[in-house]
Structure 1
Amino acid sequence: MIKSMTLELRPRLQICNAFIHLNKKVNLTAVKVKLSKENIEITIENKTVIFLMKFIKLIPDSLSALDVTKNWICFRAQIMSDPLLGSFKTQIITNLTFNTNLLKDSIKNIELFNTGKCHIMCTFCKNILSRDIYIKRILPVPDINYDPSEWFCCKHNHSSTNMYNLIPLESDIFYGSFFFIIHASLFNHNLKVDENVVICSRCLHYLGKIHTDNSFKLWSCSVDYNSLSNSTIKNATDPFNDFLLAIKTSMTGIFGEEIILQYFEGKDSHSLTIKPMDWHLNLMIEPKDILCNNIVTLQRASVVKVLYKYETNKNTPDSVNKTYCEVSFLVIKAGLEHLLTSTKRFPQVYRTAIDYNVGYICLDNFINNT
Structure 2
Amino acid sequence: MKIENILIEHFPRLKCANFFILFDTNFDDVSSVRVHLRPTEIFVRFENDHSTTIDLQSLAVRIQINSLSLLIAKENLISFRINIASSFREEILPMQSTMNAASAMKRLSLNVEPDTEFSIVCDNCSGPLSKSLHFRRILELPSEQMDSNEWFCHKPEATTCNGQHQPVFSATSLMPAEDDLLFGNYFALIHRTHIQNIHVNSQQRMIHCKRCLSHIGESVGDSTLKFWNGNIKIIRTNVDTPERLFTDSNSLFHNFLVIVDRVSYDYQMLGRQTLKLLFEARSSKGTTFLFIQTMARNLEIYQMDKHTNTTTDRATMTRVDGIKCLFLCEENTDRTLVEFWQKDVNVVSAHISIGMLDATVEHLHLLSKYVPEQFRMNNGFCLSYLSYGINS
TM-score after normalising by structure 2:
0.80
Is 1:245 aligned to 2:255, yes or no?
no
Cα distance per residue 1:113-156 (max 9 Å; x no partner): 543x2211112221110022132211222232113465334748
Structure having greater relative contact order (Cα 8 Å, sep ≥ 6) = 1
Query: 2: CA distance between counterparts of 1:32 and 1:92?
Result: 43
Query: 1: CA distance between counterparts of 2:362 and 2:87?
Result: 35
The answer on whether the counterparts of 1:63 and 1:78 sit within 8 Å (CA) in structure 2 is: yes
The answer on whether the counterparts of 1:13 and 1:88 sit within 8 Å (CA) in structure 2 is: no
2:218 aligns with: 209
The one-letter code of the counterpart of 1:245 is V
Is 1:264 aligned to 2:271, yes or no?
no
Over 3 Å counting, the alpha-carbon distance change for 1:147 and 1:170 in structure 2 is closer
Is 1:274 aligned to 2:292, yes or no?
yes
1:198 aligns with: 207
1:284 aligns with: 302
Over 3 Å counting, the alpha-carbon distance change for 1:76 and 1:88 in structure 2 is farther
The answer on whether the counterparts of 1:258 and 1:321 sit within 8 Å (CA) in structure 2 is: yes
TM-score after normalising by structure 1:
0.85
The match for 1:69 among 59, 69, 73 is 73
The one-letter code of the counterpart of 1:77 is I
Query: 2: CA distance between counterparts of 1:154 and 1:327?
Result: 22
List runs of 5+ in structure 2 lacking aligned partners. Answer: 157-166
> How large is the Cα RMSD of the aligned pairs?
3.1
The match for 1:359 among 360, 384, 389 is 384
1:293 aligns with: 312
List runs of 5+ in structure 1 lacking aligned partners. Answer: 366-370
Q: Percent identity?
A: 25
1:177 aligns with: 185
The answer on whether the counterparts of 2:142 and 2:148 sit within 8 Å (CA) in structure 1 is: no
Is 1:78 aligned to 2:83, yes or no?
yes
Aligned-pair distance for 1:60?
4.2
The answer on whether the counterparts of 1:191 and 1:200 sit within 8 Å (CA) in structure 2 is: yes
The answer on whether the counterparts of 1:27 and 1:70 sit within 8 Å (CA) in structure 2 is: no
2:4 aligns with: 3
1:15 aligns with: 16
Is 1:303 aligned to 2:303, yes or no?
no
Query: 1: CA distance between counterparts of 2:145 and 2:45?
Result: 53
2:53 aligns with: 50
The match for 1:336 among 326, 344, 361 is 361
Aligned-pair distance for 1:346?
1.0
The match for 2:43 among 18, 34, 41 is 41
Q: Once structures 1 and 2 are overlaid, which stretch shifts more, 88-97 or 132-141?
A: 88-97
Aligned-pair distance for 1:332?
0.6
Q: Provide the secondary structure at the position in 1 that maps to 2:146.
A: coil
Query: 1: CA distance between counterparts of 2:239 and 2:30?
Result: 66
Count of matched residue positions in the alignment of Structure 1 and Structure 2: 354
Which structure 2 residues correspond to residues 94-105 of structure 1 after superposition, within 5 A?
Answer: 103-104=106-107
1:368 aligns with: none
